[in-house]
A and B are shown apart, each in its own frame.
Chain A
Amino acid sequence: MSLLEARDLELHFGPTPALQRASLTVQAGELLAIMGPSGSGKSTLLHCLAGILVPDRGEVHFDGARIDGLNETARSPLRRDAFGFVFQFGQLVPELTAEENVALPLLLNKVGRRQAIQEARSWFPRLGLDGLEQRRSGELSGGQAQRVALARGMVARPRVLFADEPTGALDSLTGEHVMDLLVESARAHGTSVVVVTHEPRVAAYADREVVVRDGRVLAVAALS
């Protein structure tokens, strides 16, 4: 059974169809790339899978349970406990230090501050961020900020990490480093990854790719 599944998702923004009968599955521990041109609906699909957006029609199942029908109160802990997120621009909280940013998902999960910070700190050497624990986002380079964001996405050991253009704002070499770390971290913890990208070099890190065009997921059979 798939860990995560979208079945015939449809979503409109006003009169514009963003998703049209979009279906896909994600297996436990799998790295899946969602590719497609700008405006094709790939980020919208990711947001529906992650419970950030609710589709007009269709179903989203996670770990055997349907989640698209849950209200915000029920979806919120799911996003906090089971899912991790990395976005194009790290979107770190500027008022917090790097280690507080990483600890944030744990603090929101009611983990004690001392333990959360301790756990957060353990990610810094793993991601080559030693010595940057007390810096704020304005004092970090793009690559450093994205690695902090990756640590924040992984610190609560999510079942699924959603990454939306995680290297989009980085140069090739830095982006490659971030992807290496993302893949290593996910593999080490058995975390599934859904990465949205328009960059083939990023998609090449995934086990499998699907292509979204005009809100539709291209039939897998056609690609095999």
Chain B
Amino acid sequence: MYPLGVYARRIVLVMTVPLTLLGLMERRPQHGYDLKRDYDTWFGRDKPLSYGQIYNTLARLTRDGKVVVSDIAPGAGPDRKQYVITGDGATEFDAWLRSPVEPEPHLQTTLFAKVTLALMLERDASGYLDRQRAAHLRRMRELTEVKRSGSLVDALLADHGLFHLEADLRWIELTTARLDQLAREVGR
């Protein structure tokens, strides 16, 4: 199943933390503390970044020339450094932002494996699909409630989940209608 937070994490994984931070710094130079706050607000709702992750990433970006440190304010504490994106950093971020994400066809899903194995072993594939449909719809109800009660950002994130679950459900319906045919094929 796909809890809302998993979708956030999946998106974040694809985006990668360093590129996301570069994007936030392109908006304006930021202190580490502000970067963490912005990141957690927009992309890390379910799994905020630790300060360690933030400063390690900033250190790598600085080492690679994607970011420079400016305006070290007097006083103690690590938050006094302000990070500014460089020309190289902006170019890398821009290239990433323009390029489409690799579509993932997910041809070998668990759903497919379960149905095929159930048919091979003469188990109740139809019953499994019915239970899977109910589980998907239960999750869709939760996401629909998130949409109805949350912010626009929550709604868009929930929509991402809903459309994926809906695609699974369409596959479940189609497979249910073709179970006899599939049973003959895997039984050969």
Contacts and interface: CB of A to CB of B under 8 A. Distances in A.
Nearest to B141: A204
Interface string A194-224: 0000001101111101010100001000111
B131 to A, nearest CB: 7
Interface string B128-167: 0011011011001101100010000000000000100110
A201 B127 contact: no
Central interface residue in A183, A206, A222, by most chain B CB within 10 Å: A222
A37 B175 CA distance: 12
Given A37-B177, A205-B144, A200 B134 contact: no
B146 to A, nearest CB: 11
Contacts of B165: 200
Given A222-B127, A222-B131, A223-B130, A201 B162 contact: yes
A218 B166 contact: no
A201 B133 contact: no
Contact of B133 (A183, A205, A207, A211): A211
Nearest to B173: A37
B12 interface: no
A209 B173 contact: no
A218 B127 CA distance: 10
Contacts, number: 41
Given A211-B130, A223-B130, A200 B169 contact: yes
A130 interface: no
Contacts of B137: 200, 203-204, 209
B75 to A, nearest CB: 50
A33 B107 CA distance: 30
A28 B78 CA distance: 60
Interface residues of B, number: 20
A114 B127 CA distance: 56
Nearest to A209: B137
Central interface residue in B143, B144, B169, by most chain A CB within 10 Å: B144
A205 B143 CA distance: 10
B130 A218 contact: yes
B130 A201 contact: no
A204 B140 contact: yes
Nearest to B176: A213
A223 B173 contact: no
Nearest to A33: B137
A180 interface: yes
B166 A200 contact: yes
A224 B140 contact: no
Given A200-B166, A200-B169, A201-B140, A223 B134 contact: yes
B162 A223 contact: no
14 contacts: A200-B137, A200-B140, A200-B169, A201-B162, A203-B137, A204-B141, A204-B162, A205-B141, A209-B134, A218-B130, A222-B130, A222-B131, A223-B130, A223-B133
Interface of A: 37, 180, 183, 200-201, 203-207, 209, 211, 213, 218, 222-224
Interface of B: 127, 130-131, 133-134, 136-137, 140-141, 143-144, 148, 162, 165-166, 169-170, 173, 176-177
